[in-house]
Amino acid sequence: MLDAFSLLFEWQNLLFLFIGTALGIVVGAIPGLTASMLIALTLPLTFHMDPVSAVTLLIGEYVGGISGGLITAILLRMPGTPASIVTTFDGYPMARQGLAERALALGIMASVVGGIISWGFLAGMSPTLARFALQFGPWEYFTLVLMALVMLAVLSQGSMIKGLLAAALGMAFALPGIDSSIGQARLTFGSSALLAGFGLLPVLIGAFAISQILRDAATPRQEARLDMPTSKLPIYARDMRYAPKLLRGSVIGTWIGLLPGIGANIAALVSYSTEKQLSSEPEKFGTGHEPGVVAAESANNASIGGALIPLITMGIPGSVTEAILIGALTIHNLQPGPLLFQNAPEIAYGIIAAYLVANVLMLMLMWGAVRYIARIVQLPRSGLMAVILVFCVTGSYAINSSFTDVWVMIAFGVVGLGLEYCRVPLGPFVIGFVLSPIAEEQLRAALMMSDGNLLEIFGRPYALVFLVLAVATVAWPAIAVRLGARARADKAEDPS
């Protein structure tokens, strides 16, 4: 491990890590462009680099890309990457209240802490954790995602009916495409363009960024500009009180990241909902509540460290980004898997070391640049939105080199605008869209596996725990109301 660090500190590796992290932050911050796109685009460049440099560049891009998303999520309510959807919930309201720098500072600190804690798991417990994650089969995945879905009800602001409506609508839009449980087209109406379904990124960019651009275009007088940021990033000693929240967010993020196929966006969502459930003032979430930003950002960064665990110990990529990382390694005749530590320890430990250093670089870069970046809220909206629109179109096109995705993005911009107009929250809509395909696929896989026997879930302890938590989440509001009533009644009866 020490060797890996000393190798990493050779100037060219450090330079590549720095370039990668910086590029990642910029690309991550731009709505429409994501870390996986950046990594796919730089992949051909790594062919001619030595493997350690290639890996450091890509890891830097990965960490930077997930972290950068918080900037636009907080300042413009446009998640720069899917991982920062949840950051918009409290980050943007904070910015509206003139607390933009505070939100950014908290987001950055939470990201770094999340990254470092999950690095601890990665460096110290990889084999154990990977073995644990492998026990998760379709039942566990299904109940875990079900639990996250149920938390939607908790997430929705204001009317619960509208929240559930939004979630149902999101789920409905997730239906078209190839039904992976039978390999047949579903609800494509004979269109080969719809065979691929609606992509996550076009839907996400549409619902958040395009709808915001349309709304701006339709508003004759611009909204009051946000206050000019001062050039101080406010982090105080009293922020130590967030330590337990950071730890909780990081652990949740790492553990969800461990599960291949479940990524940073879901990690942030589960962490946020958990924090809200545990909070003594849950009504404040969604109105610019600091713990909301902390919970989301610590978890989404921590999920990277978690996702690297099955990658380096088993060669199982947890996301598209990591699949590309594996591609980069095979070009250099390195096959990730248990043998990597024997065959190419400098790479295996190099990944681990690069992940830690990338987090530190990310902190330095973002801390240094953020006060300037925060000023984008002061720019004329018309110009800013035009630039963002260009990136949204380019990014949507670039995912699959298909113009269909651009039309999908625009269509979902209109949908997003319509939902906002009816005061239906966007969060549950997008999350329903993200989660329901996983839940459906895993439930059907579980039923295939058990020959249709639902009772098999009782032989699955972890699945059962998730199921109980899901039920408790639904039942909790009713129970809480009763408990509250009883407590008040007790107090009233108390003679003193």
Partner 1 sequence: MLQISRKIAAIGALGALVLAMPVGPIGVQKAAAQDFPEKPIEVIVPFKPGGRTDTVARLIGEKIQSEGLLNQPMAVVNADGGAGANAVNRMRRGDEDGHTIMHWHHQALIAMAMELGDFDLEDFKSIGYTGGGSPVWVVREDSEFDTLDDLIAHLKQNPRGLVEAVGIGTIPHFVGSMLANEAGFETRYVTANSGADRLRLVLGGNADIALFAASEYIAQGEGLKALVYFGRDRLPDLPDVPTAMELGYDVSWANPNWWLAPASTPDETVAALGAALEAAIGDPDIVEYFRNNTLQPYWTPGDEAMADAQKQLEALQAVAATIN
The interface with partner 1 within residues 162-181 (CB under 8 A) comprises: 177-178, 180-181
Closest CA to 238 of 106, 410, 392: 106
Minimum distance, C-beta of residue 329 to partner 1, in the bound complex (Å):
10
Neighbouring-strand partners of residue 178 = 185
411 binds partner 1 (CB under 8 A): no
CB atoms within 10 A of CB 283: 10
38 binds partner 1 (CB under 8 A): yes
**Residue 275: CB partners within 8 Å, gap ≥ 6?**
245, 248, 249, 285, 291, 292, 294, 295
Q: Which of 124, 383, 461, 495 binds partner 1 (CB under 8 A)?
A: 383
Handedness of CA 302, 304, 310, 316 (dihedral sign): positive
Contacts to partner 1 from residues 15-34, by CB under 8 A: 23, 26-27, 30, 33
Cα–Cα distance list, 215 to 315, 379, 415, 425 (Å): 45, 17, 12, 15
Q: Which of 7, 164, 185, 226 binds partner 1 (CB under 8 A)?
A: 185
Contacts to partner 1 from residues 246-275, by CB under 8 A: 260-261
Q: Which of 44, 127, 234, 484 binds partner 1 (CB under 8 A)?
A: 44
Report d(CA 463, CA 466) in Å as an integer. 5
**Closer Cβ to partner 1, 219 or 400, answer by number:** 400
200 binds partner 1 (CB under 8 A): no
Tokens of 423: 């005061």
**Closer Cβ to partner 1, 38 or 351, answer by number:** 38
User: Which of the ranges 78-86, 135-143, 407-415, 476-484 carries the binding residues for partner 1, by CB under 8 A?
Assistant: 135-143
Q: Which of 1, 125, 172, 193 binds partner 1 (CB under 8 A)?
A: 193
Q: Which of 136, 255, 272, 355 binds partner 1 (CB under 8 A)?
A: 136
**Closer Cβ to partner 1, 18 or 285, answer by number:** 18
Burial group, residue 238, by CB count within 10 angstroms (0-12, 13-18, 19+): exposed
Minimum distance, C-beta of residue 136 to partner 1, in the bound complex (Å):
7
The CA radius of gyration of the chain, in Å to the nearest whole number, is: 22
Biggest CA-to-CA distance, the chain: 81
Minimum distance, C-beta of residue 308 to partner 1, in the bound complex (Å):
14
Contacts to partner 1 from residues 308-347, by CB under 8 A: 310, 314-318, 320, 323-328, 330-331, 333, 335-339
**Closer Cβ to partner 1, 341 or 476, answer by number:** 341
Contact present, 259 and 462 (Cβ < 8 Å):
no
